[in-house]
């Protein structure tokens, strides 16, 4: 593994993307980046991350914001429950500091806890996201001594070279001795258009309330299903036929 580690870290030093969260060890900033990056492309996250940190530079600053403000700032990043979980985590940190077990924070699972522990606190833990899992599986690797730099390198390799559907094996620093992706990716079922999903309607409702615009023009049953789900998840409030984001003025 030593030779592979050296090859991977050398590749990472040359090829790494210049991402803003890689220049800090602030656990709050790293947590924000990890939550934003869940199922959202890096290119979309970078400007939103910079705006977020500029507006709320600390856990205490975010904790003092209203849930309505947080949801409005999150519009377009998807999965709005992540915003409320991040807000709740900031409130815990602002009140009691960073817990020894980061998984006790709202919305923080094993991967996110490992990533924050590694990148912010220098812990020797392996942060295994879907990209890292793919690299380790294809190469048949076990990591005995993880480090922040190694975690970043594995993530970068999985995100940019050892990809799921079009791996660039010709430029991979771990290509020698690798059996590769094991054939073409299997075809999945045809996916419904995003615009036809409940998640699309939910997102448009939150955006409309944040912007003060009209609710999405969709079938009444789709809209009602979205409103029911949003209310159940604490993302909107309803009273006598009026809607609002949590803590916002009724409309």
Number of Cβ atoms within 10 Å of the Cβ of 107? 17
Q: Token digits for 183?
A: 């054939």
**Can you tell me the distance from the alpha carbon of 32 to that of 62, in angstroms, rounded to the nearest whole number?**
10
Number of Cβ atoms within 10 Å of the Cβ of 230? 24
Q: Token digits for 99?
A: 């817990």
Q: Is 240 a catalytic residue?
A: no
Which of left, alpha, beta for 201 (phi over 0: left; psi -120 to 50: alpha)?
alpha
Catalytic pick from 34, 69, 156, 237? 34
**Can you tell me the distance from the alpha carbon of 42 to that of 39, in angstroms, rounded to the nearest whole number?**
9
Tell me the catalytic residues.
34
């Amino acid at each position: 593994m030593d030779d592979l580690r050296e090859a991977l870290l050398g590749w990472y030093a040359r090829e790494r993307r210049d991402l803003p969260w890689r220049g800090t060890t602030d656990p709050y900033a790293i947590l924000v980046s990890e939550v934003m990056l869940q199922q959202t492309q890096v290119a979309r996250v970078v400007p939103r991350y910079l705006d977020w940190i500029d507006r709320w530079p600390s856990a205490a600053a975010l904790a003092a914001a209203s849930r309505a403000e947080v949801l409005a700032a999150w519009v377009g990043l998807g999965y709005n429950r992540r915003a409320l979980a991040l807000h709740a985590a900031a409130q815990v940190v602002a009140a009691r500091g960073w817990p020894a077990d980061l998984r006790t924070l709202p919305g923080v699972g094993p991967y996110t806890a490992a990533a924050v522990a590694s990148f912010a606190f220098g812990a020797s833990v392996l942060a295994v996201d879907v990209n890292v899992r793919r690299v380790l599986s294809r190469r048949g690797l076990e990591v005995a001594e993880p480090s922040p730099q190694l975690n970043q390198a594995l993530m970068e390799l999985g995100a940019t070279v050892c990809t799921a559907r079009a791996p660039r094996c010709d430029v991979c620093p771990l290509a020698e001795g690798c059996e590769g992706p094991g054939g073409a990716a299997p075809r999945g079922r045809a996916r419904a258009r995003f615009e036809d999903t409940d998640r699309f309607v939910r997102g448009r409702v939150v955006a409309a309330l944040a912007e003060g615009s009209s609710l999405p023009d969709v079938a009444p049953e789709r809209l009602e299903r979205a409103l029911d789900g949003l209310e159940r998840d604490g993302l909107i409030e309803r009273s006598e036929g009026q809607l609002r984001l949590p803590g916002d003025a009724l409309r």
